[in-house]
Amino acid sequence: MVGLTRRGTLQLVFLSMGGVGASAAAAGDYPTRPVRMVVPFPAGQPVDLLARALGERLAQLWSQQVIVDNRPGAGGAIGSAAAAKADADGYTLLLGSSGPLAIAPALIANAGYSPVDDFTPIMNIAAVAQVLVVSTASPLRTLADVIAAARARPGRLTYASAGNGSTSHLTMELLKQTAGIDLQHAPYRGSPPAQVDLIAGRVDLMFDAAPSVVPPVREGRLRALAVSTQSRIAELPDVPTVAEAGLPGFEAVGWMGLVAPAGLDPAIRGRLHEGLRHVMSDATVRERLTGLGLMLIGSGPEEFGAFIRSEAEKWGRVVAVSGAKVD
């Protein structure tokens, strides 16, 4: 009986070793066919531009196609749900962002996926600062002016956003909750029409992504009052952070990261992370991405996973307190 037990144990050991060897071999050969990178937003948006920049260089590195598959809708939830249901073999990836991976599940009752449970984190790649802006004709010149005016006239100041549930919307809701002020929300269908009305003075203020507002700020059509990041940004070095301007601890960024369906082989996850690190270490790629107004991150899988959990909790609280609804 002892001999049989030992023989059975040895067989299990050899089978286990064979599985490990097969997994390592599969990861070493990966990818052997085209890789699909789902982008849950329309072409031309920052996440899409990032996907195409990375996909182009990964394709060169791997000698395999990287196909960018745009699946927009429901704040990124439609494409994200589709990616979550794909095979966990490394050939379907999701280039997600703070919208679908932290905000959308709190806004949409049946989003079809959990950002924490249904994905394997690979890398948090980049972030975008939100900038608090007003028209240059506005009497509001600092964040302190905004807070004072809002307290003097509760609910009278209006703020634009790129739409209900957007990062610009919820960043302002976080500001309202942190400062204890009341502002009137004016949602638009995207940032461009919101900026038009802001410049014309039809709304009072707005948070918007740095790449969208830096040009009109430099042209003198908008005035930047504060940035939402922990540190000042290179594009607007004279503009204080919200924390510096009077609300310590405030931080809100739009971020973009790569994930795969849950259950991905750790060896393939390591191969993907290694590929991204290699691409992002290239000076030409870094210059191209920073030229889009992106702040590069490049965190590891475990760190990114913890970050997704913390962001989902943070924005879930903001949504619950604000009562925000999607269109």
Per-domain boundaries in the chain: 35-126+254-322, 129-227
Supply the pLDDT for residue 45: 81
Supply the pLDDT for residue 24: 55
Supply the pLDDT for residue 7: 46
Of residues 192 and 150, which shows the higher confidence score?
A: 150
Supply the pLDDT for residue 14: 42
Give per-residue pLDDT as tens, 199-251.
999 999 999 999 889 999 999 999 999 999 999 999 999 999 999 999 999 99
Residues comprising the chain, all counted? 327
| Mean pLDDT on 300-317 | 95
* Whole-number Cα distances in Å, 291 to 6, 41, 131, 237: 62, 20, 17, 16
Q: Give the homologous superfamily in CATH for domain 129-227.
A: Periplasmic binding protein-like II (3.40.190.10)
Of 193, 175, 86, 64, residue with least CA distance to 130? 175
If one looks up domain 35-126+254-322 in CATH, what number appears? 3.40.190.150
Whether residue 26 has pLDDT greater than 70: no
Helix/strand/coil percent split, the chain, to 5:
45, 20, 35
Whether residue 56 has pLDDT greater than 60: yes
Give the separation between CA 235 and CA 150, rounded to whole angstroms: 28
For residue 123, list its beta bridge partners: 258
CB of 99 closer than 8 Å to CB of 252:
no
The domains spanning 35-126+254-322 and 129-227 adopt the same CATH topology: yes
Confidence of residue 190 (pLDDT cuts 50, 70, 90): confident
Write b or e for each residue in 118-153: b if 16 or more Cβ atoms lie within 10 A of its Cβ, otherwise e. bbbbbbbbbbbbbbbbbbeebebeebeebbebbeee
Supply the pLDDT for residue 299: 95
| Mean pLDDT on 70-84 | 91
Of residues 286 and 166, which shows the higher confidence score?
A: 286
Confidence of residue 13 (pLDDT cuts 50, 70, 90): very low
Give the separation between CA 161 and CA 2, rounded to whole angstroms: 72
Supply the pLDDT for residue 44: 83
Kindly state the percentage of the chain with pLDDT values over 70.
Answer: 91
| Mean pLDDT on 100-120 | 91
DSSP 240: P
Confidence of residue 10 (pLDDT cuts 50, 70, 90): very low
| Mean pLDDT on 140-167 | 94
Tell me which H or E stretch contains 311.
helix 301-322
Tell me which H or E stretch contains 74.
none
Give the separation between CA 221 and CA 232, rounded to whole angstroms: 21
CB of 188 closer than 8 Å to CB of 171:
no
- In whole numbers, what is the pLDDT of the chain averaged over residues? 90
Give the separation between CA 141 and CA 240, rounded to whole angstroms: 12
